[in-house]
Amino acid sequence: MTHHPIRTVLISGASVAGPSLAFWLSRYGFQPTIVERARQLREGGYAVDFRGTSMEALRRMELLDAVKAEATNMGDMYYVDRHDREVATMPAAAFSGELEIMRGDLARILYDATKAGAEYIFGDSIAELTDLDDGVEVRFESGRVRSFDLVIGADGLHLCADWPSVRRSSSSAI
């Protein structure tokens, strides 16, 4: 094991998880870099719900008001018969939690909250990782090569085979 202090962190993926992680890393003195395969922040997507612990996370990030301002404010769902008479009601909370926002709006709020403290690289992705004694050498698809103390995948669900190969320069690991 190396005991090199971790300062620079490369995060793969700029949706919800990546920028959220960058938010806390930069608050605690790390230098996060986020690489996103899309050429710009991706818009659109589905509605994302907040409830319970995730509401507390928003409060601690001081982003609750920003998310509330863009909430979908979905109402209750009514089932009606052929005469338009209400026969059943599903409360909004059953579908949209305590607070609901479109994924793209959430990603933009997180990006705005982190862009000053994190480096964003759009239109690129990790091609190869080489585990070094004192960090990780990263070769990007663009051909650029950089070193980071730590690399974290936050780029959604993948089959393991989708992730880049990892080479080890020695038997050490971080």
Ligand X SMILES: Cc1cc2nc3c(=O)[nH]c(=O)nc-3n(C[C@H](O)[C@H](O)[C@H](O)COP(=O)(O)OP(=O)(O)OC[C@H]3O[C@@H](n4cnc5c(N)ncnc54)[C@H](O)[C@@H]3O)c2cc1C
Nearest approach, Cβ of residue 121 and ligand X (Å)? 9
Contact call for residue 103 and ligand X (CB under 6 A): yes
CA 87 – CA 79 distance, rounded (Å): 6
Could you tell me the smallest distance in angstroms from the CB atom of residue 31 to ligand X?
Answer: 19
Write the CB contacts of 158 (distance below 8 Å, at least 6 apart in sequence): none
What residues numbered 8-47 form the site for ligand X, per CB under 6 A? 12-18, 35-38, 42, 46
Binding mask 129-168 for ligand X (x = CB under 6 A): -------------------------xxx------------
- Whether 110 and 67 have beta carbons less than 8 Å apart is answered as no
Kindly give, in sequence order, each residue whose CB lies less than 8 Å from that of residue 120, ignoring residues fewer than 6 positions away: 14, 33, 34, 36, 111
22 three-class SS: helix
Minimum CB separation from ligand X for residue 83, in Å?
33
In a 10 Å sphere around its CB, with 0-12 CB exposed, 13-18 middle and 19+ buried, how is residue 170 labelled? exposed
- Provide the minimum distance between the beta carbon of 165 and ligand X in the complex, in angstroms, as a whole number: 13
Which residues are at the interface with ligand X (CB under 6 A)? 12-18, 35-38, 42, 46, 48-49, 103, 125, 154-156
